[in-house]
Chain A
Amino acid sequence: MKQYGMVIDLEKCIGCHACAIACKAEWEVPADQGRNWLKRLGPAHTPHGLASTYYPGLCNHCDKPACVEACPADLEEKTFKDPVSGKKKTMEVAATWKDPFDGTVQIDKDRCLGCGACADACPYEARYVNPELGEDGKADKCTFCVERRAAGLEPACVQTCLAGARIFGDLNDPKSPVAKYVKKGAIKMESAAVKIGPNVRYFGNKRDIHLLTETSTPRVMPEASLRRVMIARMVRPVIREVKKKLSIFDMS
């Protein structure tokens, strides 16, 4: 199984924001929102010296994504297919899920309710609700440009990066450039309370990594998230029942 991920090399990143804007153009993101973002950090003191770096952030496509758990949309069976082995796997998913074969977290906007539970649940604030889509808005976030990749293209942010600071690939493939970066010490932005297995990693010198993690690592899981997840868990069986009844109704 693959786990797609991205490494951001802060030694190379010069903080130009091209990633954030290319993504906006590619995916028609509203001007005041972002699927990815860049924040300038410092200059500030660190134990390793004065530092100034950037937080280029995006969806972490986590191992245990809080957003997927929080989605209250009704569950549906969905069959996934591994493009390599042809293996199939059927799972019950809400309007957002973690792909069992490539590890990316995706959204079915047709089924998204636009409630924003997923956005509230993400400790990295990587999701937003695009109010321009549908009647009630639709959740949106980085997809690792799955559609571009299907068309044989690089993710938009990777393509535009003049520094070559964004490296995309399969973290489970030890020969991939991203896995090599992990071996060299690329870090996850995790804390004691937020340990959901982010798959975006950051590489840099000690002082920059210190500044990044001190200022930008989430320290708490969003409270709303826990509440929403509990509600979702309670509501789901009910929805399933309703759906069953509805389908009987529709057939008759």
Chain B
Amino acid sequence: MNKNLTRRKFLQSASLAAAAVPLSRVAPAQASFVAGEFGAPGSFSETKTVTGGICEMCFWRCQVVGKTRDNRLVKLEGNPKSVDNGKSICARGNAGIQLLYDPDRLKYPLKNVGKRGAPKWKRISWDEALDETAAQLTKIQKKYGPHAVAMFPHGASSVYPQQFLQYTGTPNVSAASFYQCRGVRDMAYMTTFGFSPGEKVDMANAKAILLLGSHLGENVHVSHLKQYLKGLENGAKLIVVDPRFSAAAAKADVWVKIKPGTDTAFLMAIMKHLLDKGIYDKKFVEDNCTGLAEFKEGLAHSSLDWAAKICDLPAEQIKEVAEIIGKNAPNVSIHPGRHTTWHGNDFQRLRAQACLTAILGAYAVPGGLIRHKSMKLGKAPWAKGVFAEDCDLATFWPFKPPGTPTDAIRETSITSKPYPIKAWVAWGQNPIQTIPNQERTIKSLQNMDFVLVTDIMPTDITMYADILLPEASYLERYDYIKKGTQWNPADEQVQYVSARMPLVEPMFERKDSVWITNELAKRMGYGDNIPVQSVEELVDKRLAKANLSIKALRELDGIYLQKGKSPYVTDPAKRKFEFDTDSGMIELSSEIIADNDFSPVPTFIPVEEVPKGFARLVYGRSAVHTFNRSQNNVWLHHEMPENPFWINDDNARAMGLKDGDRIALENQDGVRSRNTTIIKVTPGIRKDTVYLAHGFGSMNPALSVGHGKGIDDQALITKMVIDPETGATGMRNNFVRIIKDGKAISFPA
């Protein structure tokens, strides 16, 4: 038998040697390898390089090129011309082709002939889908007013349809990227500095970096991580404030194992210490800040000991952090964070971060908060919507980010007070997993006259659609224009513009959002108001402001570069700035906040204590997944198929749990996780805190890979605390205990 096998293989290889081998597969003479019949040819072999790709596996949006063979995308790589991500992309970026060719993707317009939540799908034509959607939305708008349509957008493609619906008269748009993510940060910095900070702290050139909860490394945005790593390489002191020994804490000089929800007290004590000791930029504060006296007064009680007790930290450590920051000022990155809707006391914390930045003078200097000027582009085309005066659901929240707070829309959807909301439109967002309390979300959905969902993949929300529309993915469409500056602010100054271009043609009946929206607009009686006839026209119109076009960009390998401006103003004579606030200065104490009956000086609002037998559930990102969006990607799923439940090792021992045990969870309201996951026993988390990566446990069986894998943290977040200033959703106020073999196991006191 051995002989036969050998003979067969022997003859096989002999005949192969005789067969014609394509030229590109012939190895150069000096190479020792044999690129034969059975080896993959490699992405560089017999492929075409298509430029102009902009990634949207996450929302950092790196510049990519595609390698295509026979019109099939075989690999994605960073665009070598990029001054942002360069030739690098992350795991998710690399795995984009598995999204593109995912067999579970939405292919055709579908009509739900079953029930919401238990759908039966019937394939219908685009005409039928558009006719029915337009008829339903028109009927609802006529009967209840335009504001009876609510929209939940996410991603570049959702901007145009969102603007259209606003144009028809609904203010009820709620972006998860604001209300469950960064909106509260933007508003806090707006009231302090007069602009939203993005994540534009110059970590690459910092002498010290302070991260509050930001778990860089688990949160992967390529150019941002390049900046962070450059800073560390240059010797920046890294301070990481996190109840968990995160990927960032593992690289930190100081890990501040803070009690969740108390960060504002920590920051206040640091600021008081710096002010008391005179370790702050007096000249900068005098020239650029207002309200110092009130600010000092507001912090009068915030001693190191006071904060130490609240934060469950040694006072010495708070002092150490203050002194590291003070010593390295102004070249300090006080990171503004990204996902910042934690506890419903977040506006005050983010105000504190902004004020700390200000008193250190850490603005427009290497390492500080910077505004790096990029090129101007034309605006998106739909005219602004005009809303009826009495339809604003957000009057309680004076500092709300754009749109309407999600919870206000959802409650109105259930109660019809003050007016009915009767249609939900989800476009690229999965509100089941973005908004706490899934029962309320599902109740709202069941209360609708009509639900439209447009997406690339099935998600939990698509199960609740009446009409489900398939969109072209970021690799198959034009839409987003990425602009910015070179990743390291200290390098040669460069500005760039790059417009997303399709790397391959869309398959099946997938369409871009401009086409879908225009077809709906025509059918809803807005045909004459359509601002652009195609997505190409939209992109060209916006590019025209920069004297660019799709054609010009294509000839430039997808990226236009020009000389930029330094974001630094280091000449002491020029460090008096104009800010876009009421006072024109940085507002340490804010009159407008006081006028709205909130504390004008950052103040600590305590959060609910952990009930006996439970631990606080915190959640975060994973390096290989973007929330729920990537769960069905076979490559990413292989890297992280479920989300291990982090539990303190002492607790695990006392509870009789071992690393790898399979468990479910139950929260304070008796809500149990639909699925199970494994336990990760570690000393790297506080005893009162447990952790899950967000986005797992999809309930949609149409996801053949990701369905039911891991625990959906959002399912356990039934209680939320709405941030009183902004209406943003605080989600880390939920507590869980463990269910193993059907029995509840409580946490030790």
Contacts and interface: CB of A to CB of B under 8 A. Distances in A.
B148 to A, nearest CB: 44
Q: Max chain B CB contacts within 10 Å: which of A14, A44, A138?
A: A14
Contacts of B233: 12
Contacts of B636: 21
Interface in B695-735: none
Contact of A17 (B39, B251, B639): B639
A1 interface: no
A74 B10 contact: yes
Contact of B42 (A12, A148, A164): A148
Interface string B676-712: 0000001111000000000000000000000000000
B508 interface: no
A161 to B, nearest CB: 6
A161 B91 contact: no
A76 B87 CA distance: 41
A242 B1 CA distance: 12
Q: Max chain B CB contacts within 10 Å: which of A11, A16, A101, A156?
A: A16
A26 B87 contact: no
B115 interface: no
A110 B42 contact: no
A246 interface: yes
Contact of A31 (B43, B229, B634, B685): B634
Q: Max chain A CB contacts within 10 Å: which of B30, B33, B225, B624?
A: B33
Contact of A27 (B42, B638, B684): B42
B40 interface: yes
A216 interface: no
Interface string A22-35: 10111110011010
B398 interface: no
Contact of B43 (A26, A83, A164): A26
Interface string B1-40: 0110111011011001100000000011111111111111
B682 A160 contact: no
Contact of A110 (B7, B37, B74, B89): B37
A101 B98 CA distance: 38
Given A45-B683, A52-B250, A53-B250, A17 B623 contact: yes
A147 B225 contact: no
A246 B286 CA distance: 94
Nearest to A242: B3
A142 to B, nearest CB: 12
B10 A44 contact: no
Interface string A163-177: 110000000000000
B33 A147 contact: yes
Contact of B217 (A15, A80, A104, A111): A15
A21 B635 CA distance: 7
A15 B229 CA distance: 13
Q: Max chain A CB contacts within 10 Å: which of B7, B35, B94?
A: B94
Nearest to A235: B2
B3 A109 contact: no
B146 interface: no
A44 B95 CA distance: 30
B247 A15 contact: yes
How many of chain B's residues touch chain A, expressed as a range? 35 or more
B97 interface: yes
Interface in B523-541: none
B222 interface: yes
Contacts of B74: 25
B561 interface: no
A146 interface: yes
B250 A38 contact: no
A74 B7 CA distance: 10
A83 B30 contact: yes
A25 B44 contact: no
A133 interface: yes
Interface stretch (B75-83, B302-310, B320-328): B75-83
A163 B225 contact: yes
B504 interface: no
A52 B36 contact: no
B150 interface: no
B245 A161 contact: no
B216 interface: yes
Contacts of A43: 245, 250, 682-685
A27 B33 CA distance: 14
A208 B255 CA distance: 16
A213 interface: no
B250 A18 contact: no
Interface in A191-235: 208, 235
B93 interface: yes
B94 A25 contact: yes
A32 to B, nearest CB: 6
A150 B27 contact: yes
Given A32-B638, A81-B29, A106-B32, A42 B88 contact: no
A21 B225 contact: no
A160 B95 contact: no
B227 to A, nearest CB: 11
B86 to A, nearest CB: 8
A159 B77 contact: yes
Contacts of B32: 80, 99, 101-102, 104, 106, 146
Contact of A239 (B6, B93, B97, B638): B6
B319 interface: no
A243 interface: yes
Interface string A57-99: 0000000000000000110000011110000000000000001
B554 interface: no
Given A15-B217, A31-B634, A150-B28, A109 B684 contact: no
A52 B218 CA distance: 12
Contact of B87 (A52, A102, A160): A160
Contacts of B576: none
Given A14-B220, A25-B74, A43-B682, A52 B245 contact: yes
B684 to A, nearest CB: 3
A110 B34 contact: yes
A27 B7 CA distance: 29
Contacts of B222: 162
Interface in B34-88: 34-40, 42-45, 74-78, 85, 87-88
B44 A110 contact: no
A28 B6 contact: no
B217 A16 contact: yes
B440 interface: no
A120 to B, nearest CB: 17
B296 interface: no
B10 A25 contact: no
Contact of A74 (B6, B33, B37, B638): B6
Nearest to B32: A99
Contacts of B371: none
A246 B7 contact: yes
A20 interface: yes
Interface string B294-335: 000000000000000000000000000000000000000000
Contacts of A11: 232, 251
B42 A162 contact: no
A170 B249 CA distance: 34
19 contacts: A15-B218, A16-B91, A25-B95, A26-B40, A31-B634, A42-B250, A42-B682, A44-B683, A44-B684, A50-B245, A50-B255, A51-B250, A52-B250, A83-B30, A109-B37, A111-B13, A112-B38, A146-B33, A162-B222
Given A16-B623, A162-B88, 18 more contacts: A16-B225, A21-B639, A22-B77, A27-B42, A43-B682, A82-B30, A99-B32, A101-B32, A102-B32, A106-B33, A109-B34, A110-B16, A111-B9, A113-B9, A150-B27, A150-B31, A160-B88, A164-B229
Top 8 nearest A-B pairs by Cβ distance? A43-B684, A83-B30, A109-B38, A17-B91, A14-B217, A21-B94, A52-B250, A162-B88
